[in-house]
Structure 1
Amino acid sequence: MTLKPADSEFLSRLSSHLDAGVLSEPEPRYLEEPRGRFEGQASVIAKPRTVQEVAEIVRHCHAASVPVVPYGGGTGLVGGQVKGEGVVPVVISLERMRHVREVFAKENVLIAEAGAVLETVQQAAQQADRLFPLSLAAQGSCQIGGNLATNAGGVNVLRYGNARDLCLGLEAVLPNGEIWHGLSRLRKDNTGYDLRNLLIGSEGSLGIITAAALKLFARPVCSGTALMAVPSVQAALDLLAITRDHVGEAVSAFELIHREGLNFLEETMPEVRQPFAERPEWAVLIDLGLGAGQVPEEMLEAIFATALERDLVLDGVIAQSEAQRAEFWTVRESIPLANRKIGAILSNDISIPISRIADFVEEGRGVLAKLGPLRINAFGHLGDGNLHYNIYPTKGENRNDYNHLIDDIKDAVNGLVHSYQGSISAEHGIGRMKAGELERYADPVKLAAMRAIKAALDPKGIMNPGVVLRA
């Protein structure tokens, strides 16, 4: 099906069916993405206030074969929120649909509109003495609809799961403009195909999420946080096993930090206080969420003592106050900011079977060394197997000096990930950036099924064309 532009006649017809103020001229912020790697285009920015207005816009786009790009907080890192080539789309921003509709504290459920900022959802849960555990660096600006559309991960996946695992039901507008009223609060609903899980992670290519029923949890009575220096990635994995043996599922986060990331912090953000006088080669940030009667500091001390007996830790600092706990997390959460200031040649969001991560890191160092002098910052969510495996120029050089190596580096990393039976996208999605790699590395049967689903739900191909599956 050939897509058509949203010309003046179409926009005039569309505006006649909408209240004043829903459509506006494109602004630069809707055509950009955080890393500056994609530049978008738009004929108009639509800012609906209700699901009915979203449906009205999509119905008109479907009838006229005009492409649609859903826009959430704009924090995605794989270009899913911008369309820079081909027919100019209508961009639909969910920012006005930002209300928390209802909180069912006794059911541990919260219903929020897609444009609600993640931090707002977290605060609404807290006001009900509950926890919504999705936690990302961009939580002050990313929106819950985008979180679900990309199946966002974050630091608490180890304990609570991805965004997919935190959603019970959805309200969404399908590509033909029909509204799916699927805001179920049920924990069990075994009535056929799971449309909810089909839309989650589809990055707006199968429909537009407009609201979600989200799972809440009891808030931990107390928390404990420690930074521990370890001699190797394998030692970090062994420490994870010890931690789980001691506290079970109370491990909320288990983050791997490499010396290169700490070096980048010192180089670009010296105001961030680092806890170790001498930066270790590897460190882990452990966060526990515990119940009544448990003493987190004692548990962390016991974990450290057991690991020390087995030569798995070199040093450690246990947070003695909430302020110190916040300092530790500031170190971890500032590393991506420092990375951006250094300027990566190539950033990779990968997952590897947990037992093979140490081998992957070691082999990756050797594979990339053959391509030239490169700095590697491997860090991230060790507890769930997700590494941010980023490649940087040597100190004093610019990433543009390595443009001739980008394809070789990408092939080397993706090929190695594939050989380890890993994933080239752990939590950022496919977007436009990785659609070609998906074709190269995904199971062909899976790809064929995905294309069949896309053709069935969106036969005109209007929904975020080029995202996940190349148009």
Structure 2
Amino acid sequence: MNTFIEACQEAIGTEHVLTSAEDLAPYLRDQRGRYIGVACAVARPGTTEEVAQLVKLCQQYRVPIVPQGGNTGLVLGSVPDQSGTALVLSLRRLNRIRHIDPLNQTMTVEAGCILQNVQQAAHDAKRLFPLSLGAEGSCTIGGNLSSNAGGTAVLRYGNSRELCLGLEVVTPQGDIWDGLRGLRKDNTGYDLRDLYIGAEGTLGIITAAVLKLFPQPVAIRTAFIALESVDHALQFLTLTQQRCSAALTGFELMSSFCLELVRRHFPETPPLFAQTYPQYVLLELSDHESESHANTLLETVIAHALQEGIVADAVVASSLSQSSALWQWRERIPLAQAIEGKNIKHDISLPISRIADFVCDTDAQLKQRYPGVRLVTFGHLGDGNLHYNVAGPTDIPDHRFLENQQAINRLVHDNVHAYDGSISAEHGLGALKREEILRYKSPVEMQLMGQIKQALDPHNLMNPGKVL
């Protein structure tokens, strides 16, 4: 192993190959602090060519590779196992924006670019890069693409896969595939780009990408909507899509208990309604015509929904600061959960038409089996993605309640499967769900995935123990 580490140091510089326990620590702990892996070293290459050199060395010495971006994932996909044999390959130094083409509406960036910096660079070029996540100040584009991240604007713009036109990838053999083509149409064989996006670093290492840009909206309008049920929220979604079409860019569902947690742990958050309602929606419109047109769209759809009894009440932001204050309610839910204590998280997706029935059915089963359980349900209703999280009763210590995690996961995931959904909507499978997925994917599907992995990475060196 010492010979391998020395070879890595020679390839990219001794200062960029970390081996001390203190230097390794930030790269080995998962984002939620539940798990700490072990690695032989952390390498921090600064170019695609250096990545390729390191991968060739890993092939030569048969050293497993764990690619890592911002290490903000939630399924143990970017941390090594306990064997201590893997090299963590951090891409944070690959952080250059290579080219912006305003006319083609594209931006070429390296994998280690922080998402927020990419958003700002697009803004400076008078364009919009619409991917928006809670971790956007620390997550990287490579990680976003490797997990096919979604976020709050999927309803209008799609997942990371839809926002990417081309990739640069280092293969498991250390070859560099230059697929950085800013083309919307290219029917010249298999779509290798889509193969690597969402593969969580198990098939190759994404080192750069061509991203889609969009015109900046002229006006953004935000409203917080109170509703009596998830079914009413779905009715309101249908109405808003009919009336606002592509202007609808955000539609976030939150249960009453979500807001209760935010009020409890962030009492400075500006109040919304005089009374409590079972469900809430944070609605955002992005208009490319005019501010008056955006105002008319929003006012008309809310007025109609109130008249039809679909919506119980509404708060409309009249300024950017008020809009930001409304978004704080949504953005602070995960933070409030963490302060409240441990909970059992589920990142799921469902056909939009079946969400209300799933929530009603699963809530009832959990409450019957675990009296006093508290359900933290929120997510991107417009694309069917829910964060369906289960907190224990207030009179039971967290560690005691977490003893039920496997049984609760089984109940929730079995219901997701029964309602034709997926047990991973945004965060991927990583190591956390790779065994769980065997219950829900067919043998044929798993076999096809395994054959792809074997063909591209026959020595199983690329992020082993993840996904498959």
Q: Quick check: TM above 0.5?
A: yes
- The 5 A counterparts of 1:302-381 are 302-373=300-371, 374-381=373-380
**Cα separation, 2, equivalents of 1:274 and 1:46:** 48
Which secondary structure state, in structure 2, belongs to the residue aligned with residue 196 of structure 1? Answer: helix
Identity of aligned residues (%): 46
1:230 pairs with 2:223? no
Q: Which residue of 1 aligns with 2:151?
A: 154
The amino acid that maps onto 1:219 is: Q
Displacement of 1:189 in angstroms is 0.8
2:418 is matched by which residue type in structure 1? S
Q: How far apart in 2 are the matches of 1:246 and 1:402?
A: 45
Give me the CA root mean square deviation: 1.2
Distance 1:87 1:41 in 2: 5
Q: Provide the rounded CA distance (Å) in 1 between the counterparts of 2:396 and 2:265.
A: 15
* Structure 1 counterpart of 2:12, one-letter code: L
1:353-400 C-alpha deviation (Å, 9 max, x unpaired): 000100000001111123212111111000000000000012254321
Aligned to 2:265: 268
* Contact 1:232–1:282, Cα closer than 8 Å, also in 2: yes
Return the alpha-carbon distance in structure 1 between the equivalents of residues 97 and 395 of structure 2.
48
Q: Distance in 1 between matches of 2:114 and 2:402?
A: 36
Query: Using the alignment, how far apart are the partners of 1:126 and 1:396 within structure 2?
Result: 49
Equivalent residues of 2:349, 2:425 under 8 A apart: yes
CA distance in 2: counterparts of 1:99 and 1:276, whole angstroms: 45
Give the conservation status (yes or no) of the 8 Å contact 1:343–1:398.
no
Counterpart for residue 132 of structure 1: 129
Is the contact between residue 55 and residue 174 of structure 2 (CA under 8 Å) also seen in structure 1?
yes
Q: In structure 2, how many angstroms separate the alpha carbons of the residues matched to 1:138 and 1:39?
A: 20
Gaps of 5+ in 2: none
**TM-score, normalised with respect to structure 2:** 0.97
Determine whether 1:11 maps to 2:5. Answer: yes
Q: Distance in 2 between matches of 1:370 and 1:436?
A: 27
Equivalent-residue separation in structure 2 for 1:97 and 1:347 (angstroms): 32
The counterpart of 2:171, out of the listed 174, 189, 201, is 174
Mapped to 1, the partners of 2:258 and 2:152 lie a distance apart of: 17
Displacement of 1:88 in angstroms is 2.1
* Residue pairs, 1:17-36, within 5 angstroms: 17-25=11-19, 26-36=23-33
TM-score by length of 1: 0.96
Measure the CA separation in 1 of the matches of 2:83 and 2:39: 11
User: Conserved in 1, the CA contact under 8 Å of 2:109 and 2:209?
Assistant: yes
Q: Provide the secondary structure at the position in 1 that maps to 2:435.
A: helix
- Return 405-414 or 149-158, whichever deviates more: 405-414
Stretch of structure 1 that moved more, 194-203 or 33-42: 33-42
The residue matched to 1:301 in structure 2 has which SS? helix
Aligned-partner residue type, residue 245 of structure 2 = G
**Residue identity matched to 2:3:** E
SS in 1 for 2:284: strand
Q: Are 1:452 and 2:446 an aligned pair?
A: no
Deviation string for 1:160-183 (max 9, x for gaps)?
000000000000111111111110
- Greater CA deviation, 70-79 or 278-287? 278-287
- Post-superposition, which runs of at least 4 consecutive aligned residues in structure 1 deviate over 3 A? none
Report the Cα distance in structure 2 between the residues aligned to 1:341 and 1:197, rounded to whole angstroms: 38
Would you say the 8 A contact 2:11–2:50 is kept in 1? no
Q: Amino acid of the residue matched to residue 367 of structure 1?
A: Q
SS across alignment from 1:311: coil
The residue number in structure 2 matching 1:4 is none
1:74 paired residue among 67, 71, 74: 71
Q: Secondary structure in 2 aligned to 1:27?
A: helix
* SS at 2:208 equivalent: strand
2:2 aligned partner, one-letter code: S
Q: Does 1:386 align with 2:380?
A: no
Range moving further from structure 2, 220-229 or 363-372: 363-372
SS of match in other structure, 1:107: coil
1:84 to 68, 74, 81: 81
SS at match of 2:465: coil
Residue 106 of structure 1, CA deviation: 0.6
Distance 1:69 1:169 in 2: 23
Question: How far does the alpha carbon of each residue in 1:310-357 deviate from its partner, in whole angstroms, 9 at most, with x for none?
Answer: 211111011011100000011111111111222343100000100010
What is the Cα deviation at residue 17 of structure 1?
3.0
Alignment partner of 1:216 is 2:213: yes
* Aligned pairs for 1:161-200 within 5 A: 161-200=158-197
Tell whether the 8 Å contact from 2:80 to 2:88 is kept in structure 1 after alignment. no
Distance 1:338 1:18 in 2: 42
Cα separation, 2, equivalents of 1:87 and 1:97: 25
1:95 aligns with 2:89: no
* Residue 87 of structure 1: how far off its partner (Å): 4.8
* AA partner of residue 423 (structure 2): I
Equivalent residue number for residue 256 of structure 1: 253
After superposition, give the CA deviation of every residue in 1:209-238 in whole Å (9 maximum; x if it has no partner): 000000000111101110010111010000
Contact 2:243 2:301 in 1 (8 A): yes
Cα drift, residue 445 of structure 1: 1.2
Mapped pair 1:282 → 2:276:
no
Per the alignment, residue 411 of structure 1 pairs with 410
| Structure 1 residue 20: Cα displacement | 3.6
Mapped to 1, the partners of 2:266 and 2:395 lie a distance apart of: 17
